[in-house]
Amino acid sequence: MATNVRIAPSILSADFTALGKAVQMVERGGADLIHVDVMDGRFVPNVTIGIPIVAALKRAATVPLDVHLMIVEPERHLESFIEAGASMVSVHIETSQHVHRTLSSIRALGATAGVAINPGTPVSTLEAIADQLDYLVVMSVNPGHVGQAFIPQSTSKVHAARHLLDKAGNRAPIEVDGGITTENAASLVGAGAEILVAASAIYGDANPTDATTRLRNAALKGTFASEANIK
C-alpha cells in the first residue's frame, strides 16, 4: 500500500514554446516533481529533450526534476544531466549493461537513482538489484510516444514489483509512467504506486493546474481504500 502519493507531470505534452509557464501551472496545482522524458531515437523511436532543456527547466521549477533516460549507454551522460539539474535519474534496465555501477554513479553524483522497466520486461529481472534501487519506474505503455493507452496488466505488475522490493527489505517508491488518468490512478496507488507520471492527462487538459489537482485527488482515493482494507 502506498502511504504517500506524488504527482509528476511530464512536460513531454507541454507547450515547448512556453515551458516555464507550463511548469508554473502544474506547480500551482500541487505537482511534486517535473518529469522529463529524454529519448534518443535509438532505444525508443523518438527524439526529445536534451541537456540544455533540463538546465532551463531547473531555472523555472521549484520542485525536483525527475529525469527519465530512455537512451542507450546512459552512463555516458549521467554527469551532464545531473549537473544540469536532475534530482532524480532513472535508466532502463534494458539498456544498462552494468546497472549496479550505474546506480552507484548516479548516487555519487548527488542524485536519486532509479531503474525503469518496459511492459515486456518481467519484474523478476530486478531481483539482483532489488535492494539497490532508490525508486523503480514501471512503464505502463511502450516508451517512445505520448498519448498511448494504459496497459491494464500494469496494475498487477506494480503489485508484483512492490512485493519484490518489500521482500528485499527496500521501501523504495514505485513510479508508474504511461497512460495515467483519473480513472486508473486509484487502482495503481492501491497496488503500491507512489509516484504517478502524467503527460496528456495534465497538459492535454485546458487547465493543467486543475488537472494536476484532480489527478492527485483521484490517486488519494486509492490510499484511503487501502487503509480501509487494512483496518
Higher-confidence residue of 22 and 2: namely: 22
Q: Which residues are catalytic?
A: 37, 177
pLDDT reported for residue 48? 83
pLDDT reported for residue 228? 45
Strand order from edge to edge, sheet including 6-9: 6-9, 193-198, 174-177, 135-139, 112-117, 86-92, 65-70, 34-39
- With CA atoms as reference, report the closest residue to 184 among 138, 124, 231: 138
Q: What is the mean pLDDT of the chain?
A: 93
Higher-confidence residue of 224 and 98: namely: 98
**Residue 49's pLDDT band (boundaries 50, 70, 90)?**
confident
Least confident of 47-56, 66-75, 176-185, 208-217: 47-56
Task: In whole angstroms, give the CA distance from residue 116 to residue 55.
Answer: 23
Averaged pLDDT, 2-9: 84
Q: Is the pLDDT of residue 3 over 60?
A: no
